[in-house]
Amino acid sequence: MYNSKITGLGYYVPENVVTNDDLSKMMDTNDAWIQERTGIKERRHVLKGGEDTTTSMGVKAAKIAIERAGIDKNDIDFIVFATLSPDYYFPGPGVLVQRDLGIKTVGALDVRNQCSGFVYGISVADQYIKTGMYKNILVIGSELHSHGMDMTTRGRGVSVIFGDGAGAAVLSREEDTTKGILTTHLHSEGQHAEELSLIAPGMGKRWVTDILEDNDPNDESYYPHMNGQFVFKNAVVRFSEVIMEGLQANKLAVSDINMLIPHQANLRISQFIQKKFGLQDDQVFNNIMKYGNTTAASIPIALTEAWEQGKIKKGDLVVLAAFGSGFTWGSAIIRW
């Protein structure tokens, strides 16, 4: 058995900055209201008609991660792409990344676990490497939310939260099993699936043809829905559980954590977890203030920034944790 080690990290966000004041010109909201509830000051949105797509942002992040890993693109054995906002309904963006990077005909897997997508992707890649099947795997989380938001007062409870961006990691084989990704832990609770969801288009509910035929401007089924308070209450419980599960599986304690990278869903959730575990500010990394919630991209963007800023060092215990739509949640325990 081997371990997998993160050997390269990269991220990309669009240049277009959208502040809370910018949003207040489109809907009945204001900077104080948004910051009080989410901690977000600004986010990035792709420009309509521009070149940024879910795949192209992922490709840009991947190129940086591959270069930093010190390998050639054709050393990549497998691609895992996590997103809820693919370029096409099908095929998924994994194969588009393979094409656009000009990588040989390796396998490409798409992960649809929303906010937990990157942690799920890391777990899948880790298992492939642990068993010896692959040596270098590219894992991407990328999201383009802004084109699918209800940017009116009706949709402000959701639309003020999300931003666009991508992050990527290269996982490589590590011979020393005391280093790299030690364990990952994944869970789901589908009975709450509709509490954070986008129902249409979908084969079981309303397909594209139904939406076009009805042409109903008041149809909200193709906009995201979130029961915010219910999601918050579940998130703080599941975050705590899955972090402790990971620590206990490795006979570690909260005091052993050098850096916690939580999914950037809401600054209040991160602060709640930090306070509950008694962690100092330098033990938790948050960047939701700048980027909003970028769903599957949030952890790799935050992980890359923390590493770039020297906040993660060799030998550190790094914990990744996520919770989101599904409900799904997970953690990864990493010895850097």
Q: Looking at the annotation, which residues are catalytic?
A: 115, 263, 293
Would strands 180-188 and 196-197 be described as parallel, antiparallel, or unpaired? unpaired
Would strands 328-335 and 317-324 be described as parallel, antiparallel, or unpaired? antiparallel
Helices 298-308 and 117-130: crossing angle in degrees, nearest 10, is 70
Burial of 96 (0-12, 13-18, 19+ CB in 10 A): buried
Using an 8 Å Cβ cutoff, are 226 and 193 in contact? Answer: no
User: Which residues touch 297 (CB under 8 Å, ≥6 apart)?
Assistant: 11, 118, 141, 142, 143, 165, 166, 167
Query: Measured between alpha carbons, how far is 296 from 141 in angstroms, rounded to an integer?
Result: 5
Residues, the chain: 336
